[in-house]
Structure 1
Amino acid sequence: MDTDTLRAHLRDLLGEAGVVDAADAAQRPAGFMRQDTVQCRLLARPRSTDEVAAVLRLCHAQRIPVVPHGGRTGLVHGADATPAQLVLSLERMNAIEAIDPRQRVAVAQAGVTLQALQEAVQPHGLAFPLDLGARGSATLGGNAATNAGGNRVIRHGMMRERVLGLEAVLADGTVVSSLNRMLKNNAGYDLKQLFIGSEGTLGVITRLVLRLAELPASQNVALVALPDFDAVAALLGHMDRALGGGLSAFEVMWRAFYELVTTPPAASAPPLAHGQPFYALVESQGADQALDGPRFVAALEAAMAQGWIVDAAVASSARECAALWALRDDVMQTARHGWPFTFDVSLPIAAMEGYVAQVQGALAARWPAHHCWVFGHLGDGNLHVVVHTGADGDREAVEQIVYAPLAPLQGSVSAEHGIGLEKKPYLHLSRSAAEIALMRTLKQALDPLQLLNPGKVLHDS
């Protein structure tokens, strides 16, 4: 089918506003994607599950590959498209259909942004606790398709733990509606798990039932300096025990990252002096600030008495809590010397210190003038490694240094960002041949024509 005919069919299905030509699509904001990857044959903007199904039926009949788009905030090229492909954007499916305070669930369309849901449930005394820096752009459908993680996984889990049910459309237009609202439902296979984390390769998520939590009544945040990695691990266990399950975040910054985000042109002045090897942002959330605040401070004082903490800055207001979080979240400082290579890995906490030393040693041997910044959600086993060598052509060599040591540690090349195109050559380091074969079997069963987000996650069979 030629493009003019396809455009006419899509306008019949979606209306004039539902179809964007390739030239106009290329001028749209790219999110976190490079502008040169925002290519397509046409861009379709359905408003409902039925319209998504109609578009996919048409594309299936005509053998047209389809790339689903959410908020375009992914970092592994999972939403890249080519001029031969149709982009299917869920941006107009942005309705929050229901908020049920008694059941503590929300039903939302896939194009709702994470921040929009967070703000909508607050007046009900509820929270949607998944949180990440791209909250204002990232969509719930994209969060589910990539199994997003973020800042508070240590307490509330990944996106997978927040999804009770969902609706998805298969490559041939079949609608699979499994909008379960119950926490316990063991009636056969849990089909929603097929689509969560599959990056749009098995189906297009259109609606979700999401598990909410009670809105915390207290928040306590501290930035602490630590003398060595053993103290970091000891503090994590100590704070979790001392706070009785209230620990909601444990973010660790290696020295170079902390110094980067607390020196000009960064906006934050250093709350703690430079010079320690590790800094950690520790957060607790609870039910009573008058009780939880002293408990939090007492836990820090006990850790300091043990020698695990060298110095600490404790926030005394919501503004100061936000300021400490802003320091940790100022990752754009890593682009100060030019656009860097970013990595998202996970591995056992006991192996982290040796892994980082190995990576940094290999980088220094190859590029003496390189920059390497390490930080991450250490309580979840997740590290972000950001490397700048000064040459885009060094990417593959840096990838080998970062990814190769993970295999013997049984680590993962992707903690929370997915595989997309970028990590596809390294999937075998984290998944066995049998696992990859089973992934191929699922792909073949649900999308035998290889039309949904083709080329992502798995190598062509």
Structure 2
Amino acid sequence: MHIATELKAFLGDSAVLDADALATRSAGYLRPDNLQAAALARPSNTSQVAELLRWCHRHDVSVVTQGGLTGLVHGADAAADQIILSLERMCAIEYIDTRQRCVTVQAGVVLQTLQESLEEHHLMFPLDLGARGSATVGGNAATNAGGNRVIRYGMMRDMVLGLEAVLADGTVISSMNNLLKNNAGYDLKQLFIGSEGTLGVITRLVLRLREAPGTRNMGLVALEDFDTVTRLLRFMDHRLAGTLSAFEAMWQDFYRLVTTAPAQGWPPISPNYPYYVLLECQGADPELDSQRFNSALEDAFEAGLLADAAVSQSESDCQRFWALRDDVGQTFHGGLPFVFDISLPITEMERYIDGLRASLAEAIGEHKLWVFGHLGDGNLHVIVQVPGDISGSQRPQVETVVYEPLAAFRGSISAEHGIGLEKKPWLGISRSDAEVALMRSLRQTLDPRGILNPGKIF
């Protein structure tokens, strides 16, 4: 059976790429290799997705769903005998409901495209992340993306009112609810959010929107110790009365990296402090919001919380502040980086990072460690770089050092990127045997033949 030929018979020639055509397509963000699969299918609507999955179910062919390919855990990797289901053609913004403040979209809509389309309506979809120009909303839902403003707006699952998904046998589950309150039975959409394409293929969504903020005030502040970082979080959240939208922390090494050549960023404040925090406050009144933000920072100075600070004077300043935090690409120069996305109680972060530094030095010797992240919601990004002449064979050692201590802190091996293939061996750090058993039971019930993204998560 020639799979690509079979698929073209009911999807159309232009909707299917064979293995040779795939050789020209990138495998995604930070992946230099090309895609591999028996075929790549690009359906245009839910009916075609359902027809494709019915065919795959009938012929026992595995399917890997792909969005913007911005994940970091190999959750969308496919094998040579599998089909890739790409939602790139399902990219319509179907309806913006300005009164209900929600939007109906196909799963292949790119996050930034959605954000920009809402501007003329003075509405906002608050999810935001560095890969906004490539990541799709379907992928955001399938991985329960977090991003920069979780502290105020929550994770992706907090922004999804309803969705439509296709099960492994082609059954369409349409739960396109647009109500904030709907307790009529089980909330089925939550089964698919964060399931990484293993329980069904998300095809359409109803997303909750917010009024677009009219103002944005930002500050980049330096702090002398980590205890002060945690105190500043509560202080600013209280003083800003719920308008604090981001609280991003950068350890000194990372701040120096992104403010020193060859990086393009400039150092708004001295690079000689141990901790830096990027604060963002969104509001509606330019004069009053600015006064309140500046007053809160002045009071923080008087309380001994801040060692130094730079405050935005324009939207351009805000963009430059965020550019520093988002310049993660600097960590990929001069060596082989191992990227980790973890979560743990804020009160334990300093102890965890101190222990990590010591353990890495003992386990692998020469390395660089960069730490930064969405500290306001307990999420840290840890990047360990080893010399470029050392192969990736050191990764298992580094994973052990990074993940094993999280058990004692009741932390998570994955804050916002999922499990995929990469974190499978460590799932037991964050989930009990009973939880994993229930996950397996759900998967077996919805996909008894195991054709949806096989081998991922567990």
Please give the TM-score of this superposition, normalised by the length of structure 1: 0.98
Partner of 2:48: 51
Work out whether residues 33 and 77 of structure 1, in 8 Å CA contact, stay in contact via their aligned partners in 2. Answer: no
Task: In structure 2, give the amino acid aligned to 1:442.
Answer: L
Matched, 1:293 2:268: no
Match of 2:438 in 1: 438
1:216 to 201, 213, 217: 213
Query: How far apart are the structure 2 equivalents of 1:429 and 1:7?
Result: 40
CA distance in 1, matches of 2:4, 2:376: 49
Which of 177, 201, 204 is matched with 1:180 structurally?
177
Provide, for residues 261-316 of structure 1, a one-character-per-residue CA deviation record: whole Å limited to 9, x for no partner.
01100001211111111000000000111110010011011111111100000010
Shift of 1:365: 2.0
Equivalent-residue separation in structure 1 for 2:65 and 2:32 (angstroms):
17
- Superposition map of 1:361-376 within 5 A: 361-376=358-373
Secondary structure in 1 aligned to 2:322?
helix
Q: State the aligned residue count.
A: 455
Q: Give the Cα–Cα distance (whole angstroms) in 2 for the partners of residues 313 and 425 of structure 1.
A: 43
Tell whether the 8 Å contact from 1:226 to 1:232 is kept in structure 2 after alignment.
yes
Contact conserved, 1:37 with 1:80, CA < 8 A, in 2? no
Cross-structure match for 1:130: 127
**Letter paired with 1:29:** S
Whole-Å separation in 2 of the counterparts to 1:192 and 1:357: 40
Q: Which of 275, 279, 292 pairs up with 2:276?
A: 279
SS at 1:147's partner residue?
coil
Residues 153-164 of structure 1 mapped to structure 2, 5 A cutoff: 153-164=150-161
TM-score of the two chains, using structure 2 as the length reference? 0.98
Shift of 1:364: 1.6
Q: Give the aligned partner of residue 319 of structure 1.
A: 316
Specify the alignment match of 2:334 in structure 1.
Answer: 337
The answer as to 2:60 corresponding to 1:75 is no
2:227 is the alignment partner of 1:238: no
Q: Partner amino acid for 1:138?
A: A
Match of 1:8 in 2: 5
Deviation at 1:33, TM superposition (A): 5.2
Mind listing any 5+ residue stretches in structure 1 that lack a counterpart? none
What do the CA deviations read for 1:321-348 (whole angstroms, capped 9, x no partner)?
A: 0000000100000012123000000000
Q: Which residue of 1 aligns with 2:423?
A: 423
Letter in 1 for 2:438: L
Contact 2:25 2:34 in 1 (8 A): no
The corresponding residue for 2:108 is 111
In 1, Cα distance between the equivalents of 2:34 and 2:180? 39
Preserved CA contact (<8 Å) 1:162 1:210 = yes
Match of 1:403, as an amino acid? Y
Task: Name the CA distance, whole Å, in 2 between partners of 1:79 and 1:309.
Answer: 43
Deviation at 1:369, TM superposition (A): 2.4
SS at match of 1:184: coil
Identity of aligned residues (%): 61
Q: For 1:337 and 1:455, locate their aligned partners in 2 and report how far apart those are by CA, in whole Å.
A: 33
Preserved CA contact (<8 Å) 2:38 2:81: yes
Q: Quote the Cα distance in structure 1 between the aligned partners of 2:34 and 2:454.
A: 15
Is the 2:113–2:133 contact (alpha carbons within 8 Å) kept by the matching residues of 1?
yes
How far 1:35 moved relative to its partner?
Answer: 3.9
- Look up the match of 1:412: 412
- Given that 1:74 and 1:417 are in contact with CA atoms closer than 8 Å, whether structure 2 keeps it comes out as yes
Of 226-235 and 7-16, more deviation after overlay is shown by 7-16
Match of 1:36 in 2: 33
Moved more, 153-162 or 333-342: 333-342
State the distance in 2 between where 1:355 and 1:84 align. 42
CA distance in 2, matches of 1:7, 1:254: 49
CA contact (8 A) 2:26 2:34 kept: no
Correspondence 1:344-359 to 2 at 5 A: 344-359=341-356
Distance in 1 between residues matched to 2:28 and 2:242, nearest whole Å: 36
User: Contact 2:40–2:85 at 8 Å: present in 1 too?
Assistant: yes
Q: State the alpha-carbon separation in 1 of the partners of residues 371 and 417 from structure 2.
A: 16
Distance apart, 1:119 and its partner CA: 0.7
How far is the alpha carbon of 1:366 from its aligned partner? 2.8
What residue is the counterpart of 2:23 in the other structure?
26
Distance 1:446 1:114 in 2: 28
2:395 is matched with: 395
